[in-house]
Amino acid sequence: MNQKEITLLMAYIYNNTDRLEDEVKQLQSNVRFRRIDSADSMELTKSLIYLEAFKEITTHIRCLLNLCPDEKEKTGD
């Protein structure tokens, strides 16, 4: 990969992680400040699972591309 492609990939990961974290924060705020129902709970659960899956998958992608040697040590690969 050239430097431009690496920069684009890292920007994509950063922006989507930030967006997903903001979504989780908003849903958590909704749960705190109003009466919740099962739909609210399911939506928050789905968002949390999606965020964690996105983080795990992007960590594996970066490790496969040798873009995160410190993360590779944490995962034990």
Tell me the pLDDT tens digit for each residue of 32-47.
Answer: 888 888 999 999 999 9
Whole-model pTM? 0.81
User: Is residue 71 over pLDDT 80?
Assistant: no
Neighbours of 58 (CB within 10 A): 19
> 38: burial class by Cβ within 10 Å (0-12, 13-18, 19+)?
exposed
Residue 33 pLDDT: 82
- pLDDT tens for 13-35 read 999 999 999 999 999 998 888 88
Which pLDDT tens digit goes with each residue over 48-68? 999 999 999 999 999 999 997
